[in-house]
């Protein structure tokens, strides 16, 4: 495990994070600029979108960190995976801790400890084939329990519905955009892809929803790797398109790669997509106090509702499950849940509405899960 300090990342020596060279070939996604980020417009209009190729930006422009040894004893050691996105989330946590607790601004007071997980080590197999739960959290949780780190920063969609003994997760940071982004060099959307085109995704949730709506498409399941790796594979022509969580692209400042954004109706997100969770040891009142001050309660309640749904279905990487809880204009919780057969031939959906309170939202998630479990019947996920 390593400690790290701030500098600028170049993810690949011959790829640049400057969006300008690629902007001139990018005309057809400019309509999503109202989302709070601006995508470059094209000055070349001679070829229709489905005949153009553009070059994707496969390195992030965020500041991340090089490894070196820290001599000062840290007040807080943050455990995280080592991908650029995981580091971006650890940095966001660090920055919020410093903003809330100025005494942590002293150099060396917070250290970031990189831990390689099972999911990081095994890249040759689809996640569904590896099996088990906690593929991206187990080793980090062990480091937390063993007091090698003080807090753990996780993508909540990677966190199993149970927490290891001796740990608690009292904090969710404000949630990012939950939607999925469509990225392609030659097409404007999934509907624009020709029959037989290959879409790369490691997510059974995405695969089943894609095939349900567009059965003429093909899905390459073992499309593994971090955001930069997957974009590089797309650049190399391994697939014609891919879907990525918009939240990750925004945290990496890589939204210039987005071709279009799928609505919630078109692609229901993964449970807890876009949410960051921070865990500590259950007997560490000092750390619990630090991270509790960062908690965003609206996100925490939404995540609790969605995870109650997932837990009821006993979901894992082997099961295509989607769920999303949000607050409507009246302040109520609206929950939508979905289960699908892996081949996309069957999709079951349900929804709930109730007060935006912990008890009722957890009950809504569980009830929705029970309904779909009953409708699915035995063997539903085996097809």
Domain assignment present for 2:
no
For residues 163 and 278, membership in a common domain is answered with yes
Domain assignment present for 6:
no
Which residues lie closer than 8 Å to 194 by C-beta, 6 or more apart?
none
For residues 250 and 339, membership in a common domain is answered with no
For residues 278 and 316, membership in a common domain is answered with no
Separation CA 379–CA 155 (nearest Å): 30
Separation CA 159–CA 300 (nearest Å): 14
With 80 as the cut, is the pLDDT of residue 331 above it? Answer: yes
Sign of CA dihedral 84, 90, 94, 96: positive
For residues 96 and 226, membership in a common domain is answered with no
For residues 107 and 141, membership in a common domain is answered with yes
For residue 370, give the CATH number of its domain: 3.30.160.40
Domain assignment present for 46:
no
Per-residue confidence (pLDDT) for residue 225, from 0 to 100: 82
Domain assignment present for 342:
yes
Which residues are catalytic, by number? 158
**Band of the pLDDT at 120, cuts 50, 70, 90?**
confident
For residues 80 and 146, membership in a common domain is answered with yes
More confident residue, 130 or 295: 295
Closest C-alpha to 365, from 314, 306, 311 = 306
The answer to whether residues 372 and 337 touch, using CB atoms and an 8 Å cutoff, is yes
For residue 84, give the CATH number of its domain: 3.40.190.10
- Tens of pLDDT, residue by residue over 217-230, are 999 987 878 888 99
Domain count of the fold of the chain: 3
For residues 321 and 374, membership in a common domain is answered with yes
For residues 370 and 249, membership in a common domain is answered with no
The maximal CA–CA distance of the chain, rounded, in angstroms, is 64
Q: Which residue has the tokens 């553009």?
A: 54
For residues 299 and 354, membership in a common domain is answered with yes
Structural domain boundaries enclosing 122: 72-172+274-294
More confident residue, 258 or 60: 258
Closest C-alpha to 276, from 252, 294, 290, 262 = 294
Instruction: Residue 363: count other Cβ atoms within 10 Å of its Cβ.
Output: 15
For residues 315 and 287, membership in a common domain is answered with no
For residues 139 and 278, membership in a common domain is answered with yes
- Tens of pLDDT, residue by residue over 295-330, are 999 999 999 999 999 999 986 556 899 999 999 999
**Band of the pLDDT at 135, cuts 50, 70, 90?**
confident
- Main-chain dihedrals φ then ψ at residue 180, nearest 5 degrees: -95, 145
Instruction: Residue 174: count other Cβ atoms within 10 Å of its Cβ.
Output: 14
Q: Give me the residues paired with residue 2 across strands.
A: 114
Q: Which residue has the tokens 């960062």?
A: 294
Separation CA 147–CA 280 (nearest Å): 10
Separation CA 338–CA 264 (nearest Å): 12
For residues 144 and 281, membership in a common domain is answered with yes
- Tens of pLDDT, residue by residue over 168-213, are 999 999 999 999 999 999 999 999 999 999 999 989 999 999 999 9
Per-residue confidence (pLDDT) for residue 127, from 0 to 100: 61
- pTM recorded for the entire structure: 0.81
């Amino acid at each position: 495990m390593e400690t790290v300090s701030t500098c600028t990342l170049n993810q690949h020596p011959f790829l640049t994070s400057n969006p300008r060279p690629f902007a001139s070939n990018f005309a057809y996604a400019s309509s999503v600029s109202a989302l709070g980020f601006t995508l470059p417009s094209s000055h070349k209009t001679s070829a229709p979108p489905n005949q153009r190729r553009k070059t994707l930006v496969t390195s992030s422009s965020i500041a991340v960190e090089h490894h070196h040894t820290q001599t000062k004893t840290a007040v807080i050691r943050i455990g995280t995976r080592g991908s650029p996105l995981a580091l971006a989330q650890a940095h966001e946590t660090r920055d919020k801790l410093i903003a809330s607790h100025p005494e942590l601004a002293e150099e060396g007071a917070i250290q970031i400890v990189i831990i390689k997980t099972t999911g990081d080590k095994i890249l040759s197999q689809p996640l569904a084939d590896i099996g088990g739960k906690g593929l991206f959290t187990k080793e980090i949780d062990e480091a937390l329990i063993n007091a090698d780190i003080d807090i753990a920063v996780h993508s909540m969609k990677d966190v199993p519905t149970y927490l290891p003994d001796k740990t608690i997760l009292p904090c969710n940071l404000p949630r990012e955009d939950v939607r999925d982004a469509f990225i392609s060099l030659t097409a404007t959307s999934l509907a624009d892809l020709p029959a037989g085109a290959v879409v790369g995704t490691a997510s059974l949730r995405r695969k089943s929803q894609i095939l349900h709506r567009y059965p003429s498409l093909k899905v390459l399941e073992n499309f593994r790797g971090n955001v930069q790796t997957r974009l590089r594979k797309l650049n190399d022509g391994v697939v014609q398109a891919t879907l990525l969580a918009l939240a990750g692209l925004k945290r990496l400042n890589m939204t210039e790669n987005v071709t279009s954004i799928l609505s919630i109706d078109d692609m229901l997100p993964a449970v807890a997509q876009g949410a960051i969770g921070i865990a500590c040891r259950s007997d560490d009142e000092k750390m619990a106090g630090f991270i509790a001050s960062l908690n965003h309660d609206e996100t925490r309640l939404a995540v609790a509702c969605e995870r109650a749904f997932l837990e009821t279905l006993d979901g894992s990487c082997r099961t295509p499950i989607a769920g999303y809880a949000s607050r409507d204009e009246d302040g109520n919780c609206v929950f939508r849940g979905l289960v699908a057969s892996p081949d996309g031939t069957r999709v079951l959906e349900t929804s709930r509405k109730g007060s935006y309170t912990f008890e009722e939202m957890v009950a809504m998630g569980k009830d929705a899960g029970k309904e779909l479990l009953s409708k699915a019947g035995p063997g539903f996920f085996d097809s």
